[in-house]
Amino acid sequence: MPSPRTVLLTGAAGGVGTLLRGLLPEYGYRLRLLDLKPVEGEPAACTLDLAAASEQELDEALRGVDAVVHLAGISLESTFEKILHANILGTQRLYEAARRVGVDRVVLASSNHAVGFAPRPTGGAPLIPVDTPRRPDTYYGLSKSFCEDLAQLYHDLHGIETVSLRIGSCFRRPTSVRMLSLWLSPADGARLVHAALTAEGVGHTVAYGSSANTRLWWDLGSARALGYEPQDDSEAYAPELLAQEGELDPDDPASANLGGHFCTDPPMWPH
Ligand code: NAI
Ligand code: 15L
């Protein structure tokens, strides 16, 4: 497969979308932007609700693109009905449009919360493998688990290739001790998405998405196999964050698992 050049970025108005909009063009991509909300400074962006748009609108948004980076959706916990609409129906309708129009590569924003109840490794326990059983910690995590299965189905039935990236915490900087383990720096995020867009023969590949953090909890093997070479490490932020919070308490249920406080008191989608 030749390297994709024109890429549809869904969720372009959001946090990760904004970071990637700035970074992916350096890799030679021409981005087509889509979001429910207007994308600031981008009047040509497509303003669509993926779950409610007509087939014609979706086909127009996808026609002529080489690949999709699918970030759109509710990114925290919410009611099942809202998650069903935005994350499950929205993603299914996107894949259907990809099938109709003939787009055969998707990079899907999955999440650590698809496996949020996997215990975090302590005391020298092995890193969490990518084939650890799915254990969503929320309806949100459940929707990511669904989307990974949807990606597999569309590969098996229709040959659409997907890399499902179980992103840790992709922000400009880590803001908690937990994030020292899960941080995906924006620059590494762009490296990872580029690898996921260009690796050959991915079928449906699941990969964890973080930087090369000293306090890593999971195995980056399948991400590295795509050609991803992380350059960043959250450890530079450790002294400041540890001074504020201390080390994670092994007896605190909110830090027992990969999903952290999502397992006990998940942050709610505000809309
Ligand atoms: P965000 O909430 O900042 O952005 C999501 C965007 O999707 C918003 O701009 C929203 O308007 C748009 N959207 C929601 N429903 C839509 C629909 N039905 N149709 C079209 N657009 C819709 O989230 P963020 O942080 O940028 O995350 C991006 C993706 O990465 C999400 O899928 C999230 O679940 C996933 N992710 C993010 C992580 C992070 O650390 N930021 C960690 C793990 C996964
Ligand atoms: C996610 O999946 C969320 O979208 C993001 O906002 C963070 O909360 C991240 O996980 C995390 O676990 O830190």
Question: Quick one: pLDDT band at residue 250, thresholds 50, 70, 90?
Answer: confident
Annotation marks residue 27 as catalytic:
no
> Where do the domains of the chain lie?
6-263
Q: Is 201 exposed, middle or buried (0-12, 13-18, 19+ CB in 10 A)?
A: exposed
pLDDT of residue 2: 60
Q: Note whether 44 and 106 are within 8 A (CB).
A: no
Question: Quick one: pLDDT band at residue 268, thresholds 50, 70, 90?
Answer: very high
pLDDT of residue 231: 98
> For the chain, where are the alpha helices, taking DSSP H only?
15-23, 55-62, 80-83, 90-101, 139-158, 177-182, 186-198, 221-225, 238-245
Closest-approaching ligand to the CA atom of 110 = 1
pLDDT of residue 1: 53
pLDDT of residue 3: 67
Q: Which residues are CB-contacts of 136 (< 8 A; sequence separation ≥ 6)? A: 113, 114, 115, 116, 117, 142, 144, 145
Q: Which residues are CB-contacts of 141 (< 8 A; sequence separation ≥ 6)? A: 111, 113, 114, 115, 116, 259, 262
pLDDT tens digits for range 127-170: 999 999 999 999 999 999 999 999 999 999 999 999 999 999 99
Best of 32, 33, 75, 81 to mutate for ligand 1, by most ligand atoms within 8 A of CB?
75
Q: What are phi and psi of 257, to 5 degrees?
A: -120, 165
CATH number of 6-263: 3.40.50.720
How far is residue 196 from each of residues 41, 46, 150, 209, measured CA to CA in Å? 27, 24, 18, 11
pLDDT of residue 80: 98
The pTM assigned to this predicted structure is 0.98
Does ligand 2 come within 6 angstroms of the Cβ of 111?
A: yes
Count of other CB atoms within 10 angstroms of residue 38: 13
pLDDT tens digits for range 80-133: 999 999 999 999 999 999 999 999 999 999 999 999 999 999 988 999 999 999
pLDDT tens digits for range 173-218: 999 999 999 999 999 999 999 999 999 999 999 999 999 999 999 9
Best of 70, 74, 111, 183 to mutate for ligand 2, by most ligand atoms within 8 A of CB?
111
For residue 34, the cross-strand partners are 10, 46
How far is residue 154 from each of residues 94, 213, 257, measured CA to CA in Å? 11, 33, 31
The phi-psi region of residue 50 (left if phi > 0; otherwise alpha if psi is between -120 and 50; otherwise beta) is alpha
